[in-house]
């Protein structure tokens, strides 16, 4: 089972067991980290599942879709490491993926 290394806003990093085929967002929420609101349920329409990917992972992930880029570029805390966690599908290749939950939008 792939594991995700997740740092919530309190800075206390946890390891989350993720199920292949589900999204990173679902895996984080299923682990009880509810500050990742994911208000649109994974429809790439809200950006409340915004995370930062660790630098060593940025180029190892599939590129953002146009819809993901459009949404992310509109958020306050956008960086080159920004991803919508609902758009990242868990697979064995993502074992050890490190993400930090982005600050809440104002
Ligand atoms: S859950 Fe809404 S964009 Fe990801």
Q: What is the mean pLDDT of residues 10-31?
A: 97
Cα 23 to averaged position of ligand 1 atoms, centre (Å): 11
Both ends of the chain: CA-CA distance in Å? 35
Q: Are 83 and 61 in contact (CB under 8 A)?
A: yes
* 86 ligand 1 Cβ < 6 A: yes
> Over the stretch 42-71, which tens digit does the pLDDT of each residue have?
999 999 999 999 999 999 999 999 999 999
* 25 ligand 1 Cβ < 6 A: yes
- For the cut 90, the answer to whether the pLDDT of residue 106 exceeds it is no
Q: Report the CATH number of the 3-101 domain.
A: 3.10.20.30
> Among 38, 74, 83, 104, which is best to mutate for testing ligand 1, by the most ligand atoms less than 8 A from CB?
38
Q: What is the mean pLDDT of residues 4-29?
A: 97
Q: What is the mean pLDDT of residues 74-91?
A: 97
- For the cut 80, the answer to whether the pLDDT of residue 2 exceeds it is yes
- Band of the pLDDT at 8, cuts 50, 70, 90? very high
Cα–Cα distances in angstroms (integers) from residue 8 to residues 29, 36, 70, in the given order: 11, 9, 24
> Among 22, 47, 88, which is best to mutate for testing ligand 1, by the most ligand atoms less than 8 A from CB?
47
Cα 33 to averaged position of ligand 1 atoms, centre (Å): 15
- For the cut 90, the answer to whether the pLDDT of residue 105 exceeds it is no
For the chain, give every domain's residue range: 3-101
Cα 71 to averaged position of ligand 1 atoms, centre (Å): 9
Mean pLDDT (the chain, rounded): 97
């Amino acid at each position: 089972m792939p594991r995700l290394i997740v740092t919530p806003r309190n800075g206390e990093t946890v390891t989350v067991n993720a199920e292949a085929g589900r999204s990173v967002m679902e895996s984080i929420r299923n682990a009880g980290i509810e500050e990742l609101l994911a208000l649109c349920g994974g429809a790439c329409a809200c950006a409340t599942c915004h995370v930062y990917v660790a630098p060593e992972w940025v180029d190892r992930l599939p590129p953002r879709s146009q819809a993901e880029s459009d949404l992310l570029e509109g958020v306050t805390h956008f960086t080159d490491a920004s991803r919508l966690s609902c758009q990242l599908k868990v697979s064995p290749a993502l074992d050890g993926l490190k993400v930090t939950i982005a600050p809440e939008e104002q």
